[in-house]
Structure 1
Amino acid sequence: MTARKTTAPTPPAAAVAADAHWAATRERLMARARPVLKLTICDDNEAKQALNNARYLEQQAKSEAERNPDDEAAQAAHRAAVTAQNDAQAALDAVSIPLRFQALDRKTYKELLAAHRPTEEQAEDGYDFNLDTLGPVLIAASSLDGITEEDAATFLDTWANAEAEALLNTAFGVQREDRMDLGKG
């Protein structure tokens, strides 16, 4: 009995290079930007509530307009609600602080993790890195808005716990952002 070959043969490099489909696909793969996540901070509860109300009213007006497509008053009310929602969103955007974070390349991220080994206690708790030292460095390294390590450390030390965790989670989350679908072809 002969052994079966279980690996697929590798096509010759010349054939791959000559394949226009692969060349175009490869070009698109090489041009991909790393993932970006945004954390939006807003201390204006009135602006947030105004947007929530405007969204609710827009949904109500939309439902009414869909139930009565020939009713011009319902259609006009929906258009007005959409405008009010857009205005509320613009008002919220004006008082908000968006922070953007981009995933680091894999090598840089691994080097950061390796440079911030866990303390003995953290290792016993299952950590692979020292969150206290890595957090500000990772926030600064992945920030697209110029957050420095010093700023990040200050934010982490002085913000409310939930807000500091949201900042950390965004910087870590973008490193794990998955934009792929492993579905069947």
Structure 2
Amino acid sequence: MSSTTTWAAKQKRLDGMPKPTATLTMYDDPAVRDRYQAAKRTADRADEVLAGLPKDADKDARALLDKEARDAHAELEAATAERDAHTVVLTFQALERGQLEELLAKYPATEEDEEAGRDYHFDTFAPELIATASTDGMPVEYAAQALKTWSLGDSEDLWNAAWGVQRRKRTDLGKG
């Protein structure tokens, strides 16, 4: 196979790679999230116990553990359905580098931003980036509102999801 053919195959794969994405999951009831997480842990533990059971284990003990595992998975299924009903998932995708650089140039840092170590004016750049990176069609106005009105932790997570995916690597420079 010639190097041109080899490169063409690699280029096709590279060009076909999806852009990195990140999700932000928001729960309208934290207790629902907690119940789901507890049910997940219980089901995982039940599976581990069953997997570690010797093949020659007592038949009654195995039957009891099987029932406990089935019950744990039924509870997990119910908790998953409840979680899904109380969850909103926002998805963000990495922009092409040129598009990101255009946004950065559109919103240059103020002195205050530079003092905070930023290369952009956060108050205008952040909502624009969040909206542009959103695969859900979030408007800039809503992104700005969310950054101002959501709790500090939630607004930081919103920003981190949209900004973090821009910096996500798909590379490994290790020996290989």
TM range (shorter): 0.7 to 0.9
Q: What residue is the counterpart of 1:26 in the other structure?
A: 11
Partner amino acid for 1:68?
A: L
Moved over 3 A (4+): none
Q: Tell which has more relative contact order, 1 or 2 (C-alpha 8 A, sep 6+).
A: 2
In 2, the alpha carbon distance for the partners of 1:126 and 1:50 equals 40
Please report how far the alpha carbon of residue 120 of structure 1 lies from its aligned counterpart in structure 2 after TM superposition.
1.7
TM-score, structure 2 length as denominator? 0.88
Gaps of 5+ in 2: none
2:40 to 26, 32, 55: 55
Gaps of 5+ in 1: 1-14
Q: Deviations over 1:55-85 (max 9, x none)?
A: 2321332233133254132123223312321
Alignment pair present for 1:138 and 2:129? yes
Q: What residue is the counterpart of 1:6 in the other structure?
A: none
Q: Does the residue aligned with 2:25 lie in a helix, a strand or coil?
A: strand
Cα 1:47–1:124 change in 2 (3 A) is closer
In 1, the alpha carbon distance for the partners of 2:111 and 2:41 equals 51
Please report how far the alpha carbon of residue 126 of structure 1 lies from its aligned counterpart in structure 2 after TM superposition.
2.4
Q: Does the residue aligned with 1:100 lie in a helix, a strand or coil?
A: strand
2:96 to 105, 118, 123: 105
Q: Does the residue aligned with 1:97 lie in a helix, a strand or coil?
A: strand
Partner amino acid for 1:169?
A: N
Alignment pair present for 1:147 and 2:155? no
Q: Does the residue aligned with 1:164 lie in a helix, a strand or coil?
A: helix
In 2, the alpha carbon distance for the partners of 1:181 and 1:53 equals 35
Q: What residue is the counterpart of 1:37 in the other structure?
A: 22
The percent of aligned pairs where both chains have the same amino acid is 38
Q: Could you tell which deviates more after superposition, 112-121 or 60-69?
A: 60-69
In 1, the alpha carbon distance for the partners of 2:140 and 2:52 equals 54
Larger Cα-atom Rg? 1
Q: Could you tell which deviates more after superposition, 61-70 or 26-35?
A: 61-70
In 2, the alpha carbon distance for the partners of 1:35 and 1:153 equals 23
How many equivalent pairs are there?
169
Cα 1:28–1:148 change in 2 (3 A) is same
Q: What residue is the counterpart of 1:90 in the other structure?
A: 81
Partner amino acid for 1:128?
A: D
Q: Could you tell which deviates more after superposition, 107-116 or 76-85?
A: 76-85
Q: Could you tell which deviates more after superposition, 90-99 or 138-147?
A: 90-99
In 1, the alpha carbon distance for the partners of 2:172 and 2:69 equals 36
Q: Does the residue aligned with 2:120 lie in a helix, a strand or coil?
A: coil
TM-score, structure 1 length as denominator? 0.84
Aligned-pair Cα RMSD in Å: 1.7
